[in-house]
Amino acid sequence: MKNKQNRWIIGIIMVLAVILGVTGFLNRGAASEKAALNENAVFKVFVNGEEILSRSMGEIQALGESDFHANLKTNGKEAVEHQYTGVLLKTILEDSGVDLQNAKGVVVSAVDGYAVSVSMEKILDEDNVYLAYKRDGEPIGTRDEGGKGPYQMIIRKDAFSQHWCKYALTADVQK
């Protein structure tokens, strides 16, 4: 009687162990897939609606990343200062061969259809408009995983973050 009970218990424990192992394995796959979604994310440069160049995260990082602080203001909450890591949007545009001298502005668009028009005065500032991909040292994350990236356009000197662009995918230089 006791023996039979023990065998049942051992059997159940073994089944649970297998389930744990399988879900752990599947989650490992999902985690590396998430990392890939972030790292393989592209950002595209347009001029007057025409695509010029598509950039990977590695290529963007290689242009020279910097850490900076900015105030994130989420609906109904106090502004919170975070550390972000990214590259000046100006650097990405210039490296793409776009002449910014006579440009009228830059429209940054996102996967959710949101778009922000940024003046050249702000774009040309050496420490204001960034394309960020990390917040407090962690990837900003894709929209699907509840993040605001993989890329988020940040206007550092905005007191609040209402002119930032989450899930930024393209920058279209208006000439």
Ligand X SMILES: Nc1nc2c(c(=O)[nH]1)N[C@H]1C(S)=C(S)[C@@H](COP(=O)(O)O)O[C@H]1N2
Residue nearest to Mo ion (CB): 162
- Whichever of 19 and 115 has its CB closer to Mo ion, that residue is 115
- Distance, in Å, from the CA atom of 38 to the CA atom of 29, rounded to the nearest integer, reads 14
Among 41, 155, 166, 171, binds ligand X (CB under 6 A): 166
DSSP bridge partners of 119: 105
Kindly write down the DSSP assignment for every residue of 10-32, as one continuous string.
Answer: HHHHHHHHHHHHHHHHHHHHHHH
Q: How far is the CB of 42 from ligand X (least distance, A)?
A: 16
Kindly state whether residue 79 participates in binding ligand X, applying the rule CB under 6 A.
no
Cβ neighbours around 46 below 10 Å, total: 19
Q: How far is the CB of 26 from ligand X (least distance, A)?
A: 30
Instruction: Give the range of 19-27, 63-71, 94-102, 164-172 binding ligand X by CB under 6 A.
Output: 164-172
Report the chain's terminal Cα–Cα distance, integer Å: 85
66: Cα separation from own chain's centroid: 15
Identify the three-state secondary structure at position 93: helix
Kindly state whether residue 112 participates in binding ligand X, applying the rule CB under 6 A.
yes
- Whichever of 34 and 73 has its CB closer to Mo ion, that residue is 73
Instruction: Give the range of 7-15, 19-27, 87-95, 107-115 binding ligand X by CB under 6 A.
Output: 107-115
Given the rule CB under 5 A, which residues bind Mo ion? 162
